[in-house]
Amino acid sequence: MSDMTETTPGWLSSDELEMARARMPILYVEAVPVRVDDSGEVTSIGLLLRIGPDGTVSRTLVSGRVLHHERVRDALLRHLEKDLGPVALPRVPASLQPFTVAEYFPTVGVTAYHDPRQHAVSLAYVVPVTGDCRPRQDALDLVWFSPQDAASAAVQNEMPGGHGALLKQALAHVGVIG
């Protein structure tokens, strides 16, 4: 990534972002993409496969920052398109009430969520998608899991930073695990 300041309003240069992360919580949105049947029951959960900065491969959720002067709904749609492709056809809920608010801390153990770069506050949503999902940006693949497989210890262990705990909360929120 270039050290030059982006010309798009709301974007920070790498140095500016690092400085902001050191001084204040940053607002994020996270989405658990799901497929639902005709009755609205969740039938599968989509998890992204990514390579981290340290070279480790992990499973993760759709996530990203909310930009200055950007509505939460617009940020959610932007990150869904960025990670799942332009024809994923997400159905963002009419009410933007998140299923949880996750606080990520740079210090391990403050909450179930950890981000070594920053203190971040994330609004988390379950979002049904009906279109063709093709991962973009830094995602290698999108794999669809049954709710039971997504809740398994094997999948949870592949999700760093507390994303496994967040996924379990999402599955409980939609009533597919107890």
Q: pTM of the full predicted structure?
A: 0.87
**What is 22-173's CATH topology?**
Nucleoside Triphosphate Pyrophosphohydrolase (3.90.79)
Dihedral of CA 167/169/174/178: which sign?
positive
Distances from the Cα of 137 to the Cα of 69, 71, 90, 100, 175, angstroms: 23, 22, 18, 26, 31
Query: What are 65-107's pLDDT values in tens digits?
Result: 999 899 999 999 999 999 999 999 999 988 999 999 999 999 9
Task: Report CA 87 to chain centroid distance, whole Å.
Answer: 18
Query: What are 137-172's pLDDT values in tens digits?
Result: 778 899 999 999 999 999 999 999 999 999 999 999
Query: What are 1-51's pLDDT values in tens digits?
Result: 334 444 455 677 888 888 887 888 999 999 999 999 999 999 999 999 998
β-pair partners for 103: 121
Q: Name 28's Cβ contacts closer than 8 Å, sequence gap at least 6.
A: 63, 64, 65, 66, 104, 120, 121, 122, 123
Supply the pLDDT for residue 168.
Answer: 95
Domain ranges of the chain: 22-173
d(CA 54, CA 116): 13
